[in-house]
Amino acid sequence: METVSENRCYNGVQGVYRHASEACGCDMTFGLFLPEEATLGPVPVLWYLSGLTCTHENAMTKAGAQQWAAEQGIALVFPDTSPRGEGIADDPMYNLGTGAGFYVNATEEPWSKNYRMWDYIAEELPRVLTANFAIDAERQSICGHSMGGHGALTLAMAYPERYAAVSAFAPITHPSQSDWARKPIHAYLGEGKVDWTRHDACLSLRANGYAGPMLIDQGTGDQFIDALMPEALAAAMTEIRHPGFFRMQKGYDHSYFFISTFMEDHVAFHAEALYR
């Protein structure tokens, strides 16, 4: 594993690292913030999954999460959103290919060779982290934005014993009914072949439930709100009577100004679950 950079940050260290990924068949880069407590022993970890077009860097530099994670003694992981590099399949559309892995394991050509972001996030990167850093594998939580909110919700519901809590900013909630997400997921997995109960948070919640705490923030001024379909997730939470928090934030859009405004709430929400 290669250290790309390390910087002192809120008495901890914000690092960027690169490693050869077996899941994705290429080098992958991720950001990792370790609080000062990590010098004394393993600390809990909060995963932050980013949205379309993002790399590991967007949330790492714009979300303002390190300050709140340092106060709580929590590590933050900022994975990339897709495989990248020479020979990696891509597409001119921004919601398919580079920067748009949708946190699935692609089975269709030309994507199946490298686009295995589900396995990368759920299996490979956790092993890399615990093998190389002071991370407590028994205390994990997960958060995401937009496409990353979709990934956080579906992963949390698939591994309910692993993640202490899940939260999301403006998540893609119902991809089976939203062209924005349905078309790329069909490209990766094949039309008519998608297990939507695994890759649609609304359907997964109805079919399998979710025992952990959930926090959703959605801006009413979000330019993508029709494609995100927040009302579908609110309805699913209501139908199964899930004791979560769904907050419509007046006037906020889809940007990192929105995310940074409410990041303190989300980190505190996860800290409560991780230390409970």
**Each residue's pLDDT expressed in tens, for the chain with a length of 276 residues:** 999 999 999 999 999 999 999 999 999 999 999 999 999 999 999 999 999 999 999 999 999 999 999 999 999 999 999 999 999 999 999 999 999 999 999 999 999 999 999 999 999 999 999 999 999 999 999 999 999 999 999 999 999 999 999 999 999 999 999 999 999 999 999 999 999 999 999 999 999 888 899 999 999 999 999 999 999 999 999 999 998 999 999 999 999 999 999 999 999 999 999 998
Contact 164, 141 (CB under 8 A): yes
> pTM above the 0.95 mark?
yes
CB 69 within 8 A of CB 75: yes
Please state the separation of Cα 206 from the chain's center in Å. 21
Q: Give the model's pLDDT for residue 174.
A: 98
Q: Active-site residue numbers?
A: 146, 222, 254
Shortest CA distance to 209 belongs to which of 168, 156, 162? 156
Report the pLDDT value the prediction gives residue 276, as an integer from 0 to 100.
81
Distance (Å, whole) CA 258 – CA 151: 19
Provide the pLDDT for residue 211: 87
128-149 residues labelled b (16+ CB within 10 A) or e (exposed): bbbeebbbbeebbbbbbbbbbb
